[in-house]
Structure 1
Amino acid sequence: MFVLGPDDRPEVSVLRTFTLTVMGTTDLHGNLFNWDYYRDREYDDFAHDDVGLAKISTLVSAIRADVGRHHTLLLDAGDTIQGTPLAYYYAKVEPITRAHVHPMAAAMNAIGYTAAAVGNHEFNYGLDVLRTFERQLDFPLLAANALDLATGQPAFPPYVVKTVWRTGGPPLRVGVLGLTNPGIAVWDKAHVEGVLTFPGLVEQALHWVPEVRRHSDLVIVAAHSGADLSSSLGDQVPFPENCAELVAETVPGIDAILVGHAHVEIAQRFVTNKVTGRRVLLTEPLYSGKRLSVLEFDLLFDGTWHLESSRSSVLTTASVEEDPRIVRLLRHDHEKVVHYVNARIGTCRGAMSAERSRFEDTPALCFINHVQALEVKKSTSLPVLSLCAPFNRGAAIPAGEVSIRDVAGLYIFDNTLVGVRLTGAQLRDFLEEAARYFAQVSSAGPFSPAEVSADVPDYNFDIAYGLDAPLTYDIDIARPAGSRIVGLSYAGVPVGDDQEFAVAVNNYRQAGGGDFPHVATAPVLHNQQQEIRQLLIEWVKAAGVLDPADFVRSDWRLVAGGVPVKISSNG
């Protein structure tokens, strides 16, 4: 209310309107420039998307120039410092220090982020790296549901209130609440157990949103949790992995949620809060800096601010050039990583490709399993098996000289090696779960890859390998899921239910990732925090020569009624 004169004069209300533009990124995963370190060339994919903060910066600058920088905020929903060789290099090869700022931090500071949520992959390199990265930022890392186990208090700021000043008008207070993923307690147990605990997003939002609302005219949540209710965690934690829409429905007082973690694109989605009946805006830009979400809030001031309407869209970075300011600032950091990944470490006597590894036994996957099994064998006298997934379809090691990037491309995740003890019955249950990767068919084909693939990520299809003797089995996809593993044998003898094996897996799987049976509760035989990718690199360095012929196996087959399934090479 704006009063023109003394109390006895009539009051005249002056209504003011204002549109706030909030930009959002998520799941940047160490993508600074539009560069594919594994292929040593500009990034390109089947959709011809581009990646990287340098391109995000160009989009952000254009929007600020259009609407005015003081009319904008810039947020991120987490998973920033893991996912590329650049991220690995500045965590492990040349770790960041107080003096040496992480390239992702330097870029985000230069672009001018307002706040970011903590993602689960922020914990992959341990708390020391995460805390160093946090100190280097000019903006807060938020996580209302990452609690210090000793005190019960948030280990990161739960929220921040940003005041947007308007010349000649009332300021607008925008509260940003950060929520991270409860799966961190499982996926990064080695780093957080006994130190941090991660309650559910809904539960913590119910606690914190009222406080944020008291200090804010507009409340935005940056949530590192997918929109649609789902979880790969099973009953390992009592909270869902993905629940951003549930938060919007359940917790009153939220105006919008910037969604992360799921790696999908949501340009605009409205969810009705069941308490207030008000609509909550949700948006999720695509991962790696492929998209920028743009949220617009139309507000009205009549003594207090009221949200009148909101909308969102996504912009593609493929339509713009990289910001030369970011390129100049961080070219040297990028070039150091390019030099590192192109270092020669050996030779290969023939090309190795992972392209067909989802459908047949390939030397590429056998090589990974062989190295994993060799390392676990050092810690046990049990027969050793190994499990790994074909999670990079484009991985290939060329014939001739082999570089770090060639080998690293086979294993693009920063997983560490764990050895566990499983019985034959438990192994069979595990392989049955993996076999859910395939759709049920009625014949042996031929099929396209899409026709035999169920809606399961590649990283949740594990393939087994025997080190000292073959582990052989068929996956009969004419059968329903749960009864597909046929003829499971070790050294030519059917595997007994009580037979014991040492099994090499990655820490994601051993921690419960994918909700596979038995592995998370199995006795641990080997856990020296060795990165699997680095074990592969060191193996090639030591051997000098990698020969695909040494890893030609036919231990497992994809069949339908006992007949080998035929799958075309496209896709």
Structure 2
Amino acid sequence: MSGERTTMTRRTVIGGAAALAAAGFQTVPAYAGREKTVRLTVMGTTDLHGNVFNWDYFKNAEYDDAAHNDIGLAKISTLVTAVRDRIAADQRALRPLLLDAGDTIQGTPLSYYFARIEPITGENGTGGHLHPMAAAMNEIGYDAAALGNHEFNYGLDILRKFQRQLDFPLLGANAEDWTTGLPVFPPYVLKRVHVPGEKPITVGILGLTNPGIAIWDKAVVENKIKFGGVVELAKVWVPRVRKAGADVVIVSVHSGMDLSSSYGDALPVPENASALMVETVPGIDAVLVGHAHQEIPERLVTNKETGQQAVLTEPLKWGMRLSLIDLDLRKEHGQWKVVGRHAQVLNANTVDADPKVVAVLQQDHDTVIEYVNSKIGTCTEAMSAATAPWEDTAALDFVNFIQADAVAKAVVGTPQASLPVLAIAAPFNRAAAIPAGDVSIRDVAGLYVFDNTLLAVTMTGTQIREYLEFSAQYFKQITGTGPFTSDQVTNAPTPTAPIGTPDYNYDILGGLTKPLTYKIDIAKPVGSRITDLAYDGVAVAADQQFVVAVNNYRQSGGGNFPHIKTAPVVYNRQVEIRQLMIDYVIATGSVDPSAFHTGDWSLVSGGAPIIVNP
């Protein structure tokens, strides 16, 4: 049963001006001298990550979160139609454009299914099956999109098929042939926008993607495609777009707003550089920003060479927001020039899904719902995460086993191959459980509710101990052995978490082939709680080296754990941990907790075991 057919009852407004008002649309005054200006509106999405419907396939329910966001292209389409209708009624407004800034074909079971389970075959809209994101974006009428890094996750064959299915260009000026250095995707496209009684405005749309692809999808692109820096290639291509006749240059870039890099000095160019690009490269009028999953309605950045401003905007993720860029143009000496610039975002949780998009993808949606609820294996005994924050459970050991096993296989043949492998996991979801007996994809996925990807770093024994000490601040200081209720022991307040440390910021470590054992003495003060830390029964030495599997959120600094962000990265293919777990059950057909659950850590008070009840 498709939830899209049965549960679309929350927070709905039907189209038109009411939709724009409810979505947060603000009328922006035109540039002074309105009678001499025209307004070009550019709509933008980014980081759609396979979301068409407002549906959580892992919960088998309509999507919702703490902020009550809605997701998916079906709702974005309603906003796009409302914007187009409003502009059509304004004589001074021009036909709007619609762009995307990448990470389109990966992220949900809907997109995974048509890459791995029933791979897309149709090309140019004829024969075979269209990727659901291509079908939806074609229906909505996009003008161009930039490549994201996750476009490469399923290999070049799927990406090229997706590209050929699109009715609009997929841009990537800094994706270059390994040997010739020539672009292997279109660098830019020129769109001519009609102006009544005047010459048309030529809009140049330049696409740039993230250079981190060279690391994250090395196995896919090495010796085939190389990736220049965002700033470096913008310096090359923006003048070329201008020379080709562009009156306006808009960059759709899959690179976050503010300067940072998750890959440290592994590449000579930064991961996130959109603002730096505008400061450094003259001739950019507007930027649609992607990759960072942040909501930035509007930021004005000034070019250091010319003093000219550009407007930048990032519309969150998954189709939660639609960015609107308004550019006011005036003819000066016979040429169109941008004289005013503004941006805002519209909220998709205020509108109904577009029935046209729903109709196009309903069959795919129903197929995938059936798939995620299908049996993929069995479990010899039930596993629950209900007690995972305060006792060693098979449920979290399963996560750590999957992570460590993947990393151990990946580092074979590298200098780290001989090092012991550990893994880090947090008790994300106390409600998660895998039942005894038949297991579905959805059951397995419930143990890992975030879209985190897997990395591995090297750490020393001292760093491991300090990491565990930091994690142990999650527990309140108590005396005696209980019994205690869980709220008497867990979620301790800290200066950075005054209302209590969340479960997802408490980490548990485990070994792959040998046990990492330790006790957490919560009668002791924070910073001195870890006792009896040993690997394979031998005390961990200060300089002992380990390979540690960890998710991208933690490795990038989430939770501010010590050492992990600066530790040398030895593995990063941006494979989703959740999918690794699903793939394991499919491959083996069975989950047997006795194969990985060993009970390696425990809570104590004054050295004595304590009792905690839920």
**Which one of 163, 170, 193 corresponds to residue 192 of structure 2?**
163
Aligned twin of 1:534: 582
Residue identity opposite 2:433 in structure 1: I
Does residue 204 of the first structure (1) align with residue 233 of the second (2)?
Answer: yes
Instruction: Give the SS at the match of 2:256.
Output: coil
Change (3 A) 1:549 1:318: farther
1:221 and 2:251 equivalent? yes
Letter of the structure 2 residue corresponding to residue 109 of structure 1: N
Could you tell me how far apart the structure 2 residues matched to 1:562 and 1:238 are? Answer: 49
State the Cα distance separating 1:242 from its structure 2 match.
1.1
- Determine the C-alpha separation between the residues in 2 that align with 1:188 and 1:464: 27
Match for residue 272 of structure 1 among 298, 302, 320: 302
Is it true that 1:149 corresponds to 2:178 in the alignment? yes
Taking structure 1 as reference, are residues 242 and 500 closer, same or farther at Cα in structure 2, changes over 3 Å only? closer
1:6 aligns to what?
none
Identity within the alignment, %: 50
- For residues 202 and 568 of structure 1, the distance between their equivalents in structure 2, rounded to whole angstroms, comes to 55
Per-residue CA deviations over 1:150-208 (Å, capped at 9, x if unaligned) read 11111211111111112332101111111111111111111112211112111111111
Q: How far apart, in 2, do the equivalents of 1:101 and 1:81 lie?
A: 12
- Tell me how far apart the structure 2 counterparts of residues 228 and 484 of structure 1 sit (CA, whole Å): 37
Closer, same or farther: CA 374–274 of 1 in aligned 2, 3 Å: closer
The residue aligned with 1:555 is 601
Q: Secondary structure at the match of 1:402?
A: strand
Whether the 8 Å CA contact 2:41–2:94 is kept in 1: the answer is no
Which stretch has the larger CA shift, 326-335 or 387-396? 387-396
Contact 2:206 2:251 (8 Å CA) reproduced:
yes
Alignment of 1:158-307 (within 5 A): 158-214=187-243, 215-302=245-332, 303-307=334-338
Q: State the TM-score, normalizing by the size of structure 1.
A: 0.81
Residue 253 of structure 1: CA displacement?
0.6
* Cα drift, residue 535 of structure 1: 3.8
Asked whether the 8 Å contact 1:385–1:464 carries over to 2, the reply is no
**Alignment match, 1:492:** 537
Task: Return the letter of the residue paired with 2:445.
Answer: A
Task: Kindly indicate whether the alpha-carbon contact (under 8 Å) linking 1:187 and 1:512 is maintained by their aligned counterparts in 2.
Answer: no
Structure 1 residue 448, shift from structure 2 partner: 4.5
Q: 2:63: which partner in 1?
A: 43
Matched, 1:27 2:47: yes
State whether structure 2 residue 103 is matched by structure 1 residue 79: yes
Measured in 1, the distance between the counterparts of 2:393 and 2:495 equals 18
Q: 1:371·1:539 contact (CA, 8 Å) conserved in 2?
A: no
CA contact (8 A) 1:429 1:517 kept: no
Structure 2 equivalent of residue 95 of structure 1: 119
Matched residue, 1:11: none
Change (3 A) 1:435 1:29: farther
1:316 Cα offset (Å): 0.7
Task: Name stretches of at least 5 consecutive residues in structure 2 with no aligned partner.
Answer: 1-33, 123-127, 479-487, 558-563
Q: Partner of 2:318: helix, strand, or coil?
A: helix
Secondary structure of the residue aligned to 1:88 is helix
Residue 58 of structure 1: which of 71, 78, 100 is its match?
78
Structure 1 distance, partners of 2:401, 2:608, is 28
Q: CA RMSD of the aligned region, Å?
A: 4.4
Deviations 1:291-340 (A, max 9, x none): 00011111112411111111111111100000000111110011111000
1:85/1:341 contact within 8 Å kept: yes
Structure 1 counterpart of 2:161, from 109, 132, 143: 132
CA–CA distance in structure 2, aligned partners of residues 426 and 567 of structure 1: 32
CA displacement, residues 44-98 of structure 1 (integer Å, 9 cap, x when unaligned): 1111100000000010011101102952000111101111111111111111113
* Structure 1: segments with no counterpart, 5+ residues: 1-13
Q: Deviations over 1:429-486 (max 9, x none)?
A: 46756877798999779774674768x9999987431245420246899778xx9976
Deviation sequence 1:260-295 (CA, Å, 0-9, x none): 111110011111111111111111001000000011
TM-aligned CA distance change 1:412 to 1:135, over 3 Å:
farther
Amino acid in structure 1 at the alignment position of 2:99: L
Q: Is residue 83–residue 412 contact of structure 1 (8 Å, CA) maintained in 2?
A: no
Shift in CA distance, 39/441, structure 1 to aligned 2, threshold 3 Å = closer
- AA partner of residue 402 (structure 1): V
Name which of 360, 381, 384 aligns with 1:352: 384
Q: Which amino acid aligns with 2:292?
A: A
| 520 and 29 in structure 1: CA distance in 2 versus 1, 3 angstrom threshold | same
Name the structure 2 match of 1:328. Answer: 359
Contact 1:123/1:130, CA 8 A, preserved across alignment: yes
1:373-522 map, 5 Å: 385-390=421-426, 393=429, 396-397=432-433, 399=435, 401-411=438-448, 426=460, 428-429=462-463, 448=491, 451=494, 463-473=508-518, 487-496=532-541, 505=549, 517-520=567-570
The answer to whether the 8 A contact 2:175-2:228 is kept is yes
Q: 1:562 to 1:32 in 2, by over 3 A?
A: farther
Letter in 1 for 2:353: E
2:38/2:94 contact within 8 Å kept: no
Distance 1:240 1:459 in 2: 28
Q: What is the distance in 1 between the residues matched to 2:169 and 2:455?
A: 34
Contact 1:417 1:531 in 2 (8 A): no
Equivalent-residue separation in structure 2 for 1:530 and 1:226 (angstroms): 25
- Matched residues in 1 for 2:167 and 2:292: separation? 27
Residue 432 to residue 23, structure 1, CA distance change in 2 (3 Å): farther
Contact 2:372 2:440 (8 Å CA) reproduced: yes
Question: For residue 315 of structure 2, what is the amino acid of its counterpart?
Answer: P
Paired residues, what number? 542
Instruction: Indicate how the Cα distance of structure 1 residues 517 and 457 shifts in structure 2: closer, same or farther if over 3 A, else same.
Output: farther
Residue 488 of structure 1: CA displacement? 3.2
Q: Secondary structure at the match of 1:169?
A: coil
Q: Normalising to structure 2: TM-score of the pair?
A: 0.76
User: Relative to structure 1, is the Cα distance of residues 339 and 231 closer, same or farther in structure 2, using a 3 angstrom cutoff?
Assistant: same
Which position in structure 1 is the counterpart of 2:139? 110
The answer to which of 151-160 and 363-372 deviates more is: 363-372
